[in-house]
Amino acid sequence: MAELTLGYAASTNSTGIEGRAICNARTNHWVSDDGGGDAVASGELFLSGISSCAVNMLERIARTDNIPLQWMHVGVESWRDSDIDHGDKTLYDAMRIKFEMWGIDDEDARKLVDTWKKR
């Protein structure tokens, strides 16, 4: 078997307050709420992980491939159908990921998004 190299590590601790947790990655710490609190909710952190991965990956690919990407915005939204009983699973019934890019033509933008979808 090949030797694996750690890519990322994160952890989360309970705080003693139900619905509130402290997240940790390297030397960074932030509060996450279970929805309804003042802090960023767990689902929002999940979606921002998807969008930040997309932005960082596509900027790196554009630089490597000499695509003159100037700026981009990636928005991620999720929906749940309250009429569907998923039992004890947390599932999204629909997700939308919207990419907006400046400085490049539609062909290069499509190429970058297609690359992201495959990785």
Percent of the chain with pLDDT over 70: 100
28 occurs within a structural domain: no
Mean pLDDT of 11-15: 94
CA distance 94 to 80: 7
User: Hey, what amino acid is at 45?
Assistant: L
- The domain in which residue 58 lies consists of 41-118
pTM reported for the whole predicted model: 0.83
- Predicted local confidence at residue 73, as pLDDT: 97
Looking up residue 77, the CATH number of its domain turns out to be: 3.30.300.20
Q: What is the pLDDT of residues 72-86, one digit of tens each?
A: 999 999 998 888 888
82 occurs within a structural domain: yes
Q: Are the C-beta atoms of 53 and 72 separated by less than 8 Å?
A: no
Residue 60: count of CB within 10 angstroms of its CB: 10
6 occurs within a structural domain: no
Number of domains, the chain: 1
- Predicted local confidence at residue 80, as pLDDT: 86
Query: Backbone phi, then psi, for 55, in 5-degree steps?
Result: -60, -50
